[in-house]
A and B are shown apart, each in its own frame.
Chain A
Amino acid sequence: MFTPLYKYGYFGLEISFVIAFIIGLLFGFVLERAGFSSSRKLAGQFYLRDNTVLKVMFTAIVVAMVGLLYLNWAEIFDITRLYLNPTYLWPQFVGGLIMGTGFVIGGYCPGTSLVASAIGKIDAMFYVLGSLLGMLIYGEVYPLFQEFSVSGAMGQVTLSDWLHLRPGLIAFFIILFALGMFWGADLLEKKFAHEEGAS
Chain B
Amino acid sequence: MESESQKYWSPYAAGVALGLILLLTFVLMGRGLGASGAMMRTVTWAVDTVSPAHVDSNPYFSKYAGGDKNPLSNWLVFEVIGVFFGGLLSGMLAKRMRLQVEHGPRITDKGRLVLALTGGAIMGFGARLALGCTSGQALTGGATMAVGSWIFMLTMFAAAFGVAWLFRKQWI
Instruction: Report A's interface with B, CB cutoff 8 A.
Output: 3-7, 16-35, 37-41, 43-47, 49, 51-52, 55-65, 67-68, 71, 77, 81-89, 91-124, 126-140, 142-143, 146, 149, 154, 156-162, 167, 170-171, 174, 182
Contacts and interface: CB of A to CB of B under 8 A. Distances in A.
Nearest to A5: B28
| For the complex of A and B, 8 pairs with smallest distance between CB atoms | A24-B82, A106-B119, A59-B15, A130-B120, A95-B130, A28-B86, A63-B19, A134-B124
A39 B97 contact: no
A132 to B, nearest CB: 5
Interface in B53-110: 58-61, 75-91, 94, 96-104
Interface residues of B, number: 121
Q: Specify which of A5, A7, A33, A114 lies most central, judged by the most chain B CB atoms within 10 Å of its CB.
A: A33
Contacts of A133: 117, 120-121, 124
Nearest to B130: A95
A110 B36 contact: yes
Contact of B138 (A57, A97, A115, A123): A57
Q: State the main secondary structure of chain B at its contact with A.
A: helix
A92 B82 contact: no
B102 to A, nearest CB: 5
Interface of B: 8-9, 11-12, 14-33, 35-36, 39-40, 42-44, 47, 58-61, 75-91, 94, 96-104, 112-113, 115-164, 166-168, 170-172
A20 B82 contact: yes
Nearest to B9: A33
